[in-house]
Structure 1
Amino acid sequence: MKITPTIRAEVQTYLIRKGLSMTKFGRIIDLNPGTVSGIVTGNRTISMHQLDRITLGMDLPPDHFYERYIEECIMEEPLNWKRISPFLYRCVQFQRVDCLQKVVSVLLDKPSYLHYLFELAEDCYEEGYNEAAAYLYENIAEGEKYQHSDRLAICHYRIFTIQVGDDQRRNFKAATRFESFVERLDEIDQLDALKDLANVYRSLRQWDKVDEMAKKMRDKAEIQYSMKHQQKSRKNREHEKETRGPLFGYIAYADLLCASVCETQGDYQQALQYTYAYANLDWVLETDENTLHWIKMFQDWAQCNTYINKLLSGDTCVLPDYVEYIAASKVDKEMITKLLNVMFAANRFQLDVNHVLERFETLIDSFVQMGQPSSDMYTKQVIPEQFARFEYELAYYYLYRSMHSDGFKYLMYAMLKSHIINNEAYFINCMGLFLHFQDYAVPETKAGFLNLIEKVWMNNVEKNGTTDHCG
């Protein structure tokens, strides 16, 4: 078995090979010669700063000594957070989660270190080092699972936001796991958590859950808004925790979500009542620029959704006005939703919207290429789901109008997006639509369809394993 030399031995060998004295090497790496001597002779513990300087001076990768540093300078020394924490931050920075785990597994046995590890996890989360953050939050939560602390709830909130991604099945598990911890968060964090949960459930079309989260959010936001504007509580509020968005917005957004629930249930009159509620924000007391911006946003959403509810309820006369409204809108992430509703109406009421599709052809083509990197739960979850639905509705429209080339093109896009987000219901709908029109597909289209089916099958085999053989 090969014996790995210690850090000190490797440094000493390097100095001999290069013909360097400790004094000269100290000048090269900007360390006191006495410090270098103490490190080489073993009379001095190596700090993280000193390890960085030595590694750089020897022209080695920054993490070259990390495994040995754990054994020689952490495990063999009394635990000391001031000495250990710089090393853990370096492990995160250079994505050495394996080294992070080795040290953290030791610290987790000492409850007094949970506070420090939580601060490290928060820093990782803020900097976007999600793998390290998730590992830390999971283990901190396990260490505090019998406590009813804010810290435990925040760990589960962070785990939830990290886990939510393209896979809708995984998202559902993450949401249901986190939901029971919402009430343990402080009152302000509860509002953001409920909003995030509502948007994840909205992307999953779990409308009962959307309704539940929205109503809880409204009740809590109304209490917080009332407290904020009570004369007695206005003092000393400048140091209080703030929500991500303006407080009144959580009340208005709850009405928007409830309107979405009613719309999917076909109760368009009730959806309009909720829409009128978040359109009329005269009760909002703030008058700053940010408030006025959000009020305008809600009024714009209300105008859009008023058109939509009338259109989907069968009042197709509003379609021309709705199309003009879309044309006058700023091109942003909401455009997919606006055009999706045109397709819903077209397919439901057999409307000819070729002129609309031609008008927005360039924009529609851009949707196919559009990615959605975002930390905002609505953009990250709801919008990708709407892309898949939009492409399916486009395919449905074109195929039933015998425009087979365009229909199959968008159907393949819809199938691919449905596979990416792991939405089996959409994928099955796409398969059914393809099979219904397969006689009109050219050989290249059929081959593409079969290749995609095989790819999905292979991915499922890799993920879930093969079935057992008989006999």
Structure 2
Amino acid sequence: MQEGKIVQRSLRSEIEHHLKERGYTLTKLGEITGINQGVLSDILNRTPSRAMTIGHLDALAVAFKQALGWLYELYVTECFVEGRVSRSRVIPYLVRCAEIGRQDCIELIVPNLLENQKNLSILFSVAEKLFATGKREESIPFYQLVIEAEKDSHGDRFVMSQYRLFRAAQGGTDSEKKWEAVIRFNPYRKRLPENHQLDALLQLANVCFTLHNWKEVERYADELRELATIIYNEEVQRWEIDGVGGILETERHLVVYYGQGFLLKGLALQLQERYEEAISCVQEYTELGWFKFRDELAEMEIEKFRGWAKANHYTLNLLMGRTELLSEYVNHLANNPPEILAGMFTIMETANRFGLSVDDVVERFSKDIACFQDYEDPFSLTRHLHFRYHIAIYQLHKGRIAEGIAETLRCLALASRMKEQEKFQRCVAMFWKYRHSTSDQQINDFQNILEGRKK
């Protein structure tokens, strides 16, 4: 080698260096990596070289005991053949870079892709693969790139990217971010294909429920029910004419969207104390056995609706003053443990409204109540928040001030975490009212919550 000459690093020169350093033959390397010896030979020795997949590179990294992402920065050359993009290599490469956090490598390749509108399909495919495998956070930048560069705001790719961004934003407990996502996506919901539109409306209604925006829940639930009805009638008509029906591909069975349209609206009406209207909604999903195109999955879903209808009939009747049903409802909850969280919210609200004593019920389900804090899904968090609020009021009204303040602080902490402003303010007011009966530790806990510090 001439003095001062710079040796250009390349993917293959690095691999050959490690091959010699470890004294591996291609046969030995093939055994370790699981890559065919002939393929390895074509990658390293053939002219022109055989293209390498990102899977090959990962296997070689393991064989040479290198860190995850080894030589990824040099793999960019494999993604372009004579100036043309290789979809079969660039998509898996970008997916893998996103999965392991190699943002530097993504930035090496994306500007080149954005020079040609046709390459937006590559970025969209990367985003979709990440989304489909649960890597929603990692998919977000790719959907954003598509939205920013896409010229057709009515095109499927643009609208689907908006929808996926909305779905990706639903993790966590930050209500402000969730509402911002609803506002961003709302104008595009009716541009989606019908199968995705059903899912979108269900998600919009669910999110608005957790945000306590009952009017919006009603709105999206109505749209969901109406669309499900239209699609169902079209499917029935197709079945009567062609003998084929139930072919629309959706995340859930069509009966779920129809039933959820009534269920969610009924819950929203209940929480606005419009109980008679809510009962009318419950009656609509009490029995869905008339639904055509029922398979085993549909039967399971229909049975779930029967169970929810039974529980919600109890709930609404109790809230309307039929307190003689309380013991029957408590037994129902004991036989249906998954309903205990929602049921205890109802029972505490009923107790406060009608001056009932439910100490025995709280004691009976004390072990279940102790586990409420383990729930993390948005619906359970919302119910847990309501339960803590009502049990705080119950304990204070019973004159058990220490217990009432403790429950108020639990509710306050949960409202702070969820950024639920109304309950937060009410809990602050309750704590302030009884501040002279608080312990030093409770005052300290209160201050920590207000300042956003965890215990």
Give the TM-score category using the shorter length.
0.7 to 0.9
* 1:377-388 matched pairs, under 5 angstroms: 380-388=377-385
* 1:347-386 matched pairs, under 5 angstroms: 347-368=352-373, 370-372=374-376, 380-386=377-383
Distance 1:57 1:402, change over 3 A: same
Deviations 1:115-139 (A, max 9, x none): 2332332221111112321122221
Task: Letter of the 1:407 partner, please give it.
Answer: G
Identical residues among aligned pairs (%)? 28
Aligned length: 442
Task: Letter of the 2:400 partner, please give it.
Answer: M
From 212, 225, 244, give the equivalent of 1:218: 225
- Which runs of 5 or more structure 2 residues have no equivalent in the other structure? 1-5
- Which runs of 5 or more structure 1 residues have no equivalent in the other structure? 373-379, 459-471
Equivalent-residue separation in structure 2 for 1:451 and 1:4 (angstroms) = 58
* 1:50-449 matched pairs, under 5 angstroms: 50-70=56-76, 72-74=77-79, 78=83, 79-165=85-171, 166-230=173-237, 231-237=239-245, 240-281=247-288, 283-286=290-293, 288-328=295-335, 330-332=336-338, 334-368=339-373, 370-372=374-376, 380-449=377-446
3-state SS of paired residue (1:180): helix
Equivalent-residue separation in structure 1 for 2:164 and 2:208 (angstroms) = 17
Task: Letter of the 1:84 partner, please give it.
Answer: V
Q: Is the 8 A contact 2:350 2:356 kept in 1?
A: yes
Tell me by how many angstroms 1:196 deviates: 0.8
In the other structure, the counterpart of 2:3 is none
Q: Which has the higher contact order (CA 8 A, sep 6+)?
A: 1
Distance 1:10 1:335, change over 3 A: same
Equivalent-residue separation in structure 2 for 1:21 and 1:358 (angstroms) = 71
Distance 1:270 1:37, change over 3 A: closer
Equivalent-residue separation in structure 2 for 1:63 and 1:445 (angstroms) = 50
Deviations 1:292-329 (A, max 9, x none): 3222222222222222222222332332222222223x
Q: Is the 8 A contact 2:255 2:291 kept in 1?
A: yes
Distance 1:438 1:46, change over 3 A: same
Q: Is the 8 A contact 1:191 1:221 kept in 2?
A: yes
Task: Letter of the 1:278 partner, please give it.
Answer: Y
Farther off after superposition, 47-56 or 221-230: 47-56
3-state SS of paired residue (1:455): coil
Task: Letter of the 1:202 partner, please give it.
Answer: F
Distance 1:419 1:95, change over 3 A: same
Tell me by how many angstroms 1:170 deviates: 0.6
Q: What's the RMSD between the two structures over aligned residues?
A: 3.0
Deviations 1:7-52 (A, max 9, x none): 455445546655678898788766557546548xx96476235533
Deviations 1:48-68 (A, max 9, x none): 355335433432113121123
Q: Is the 8 A contact 1:97 1:132 kept in 2?
A: no
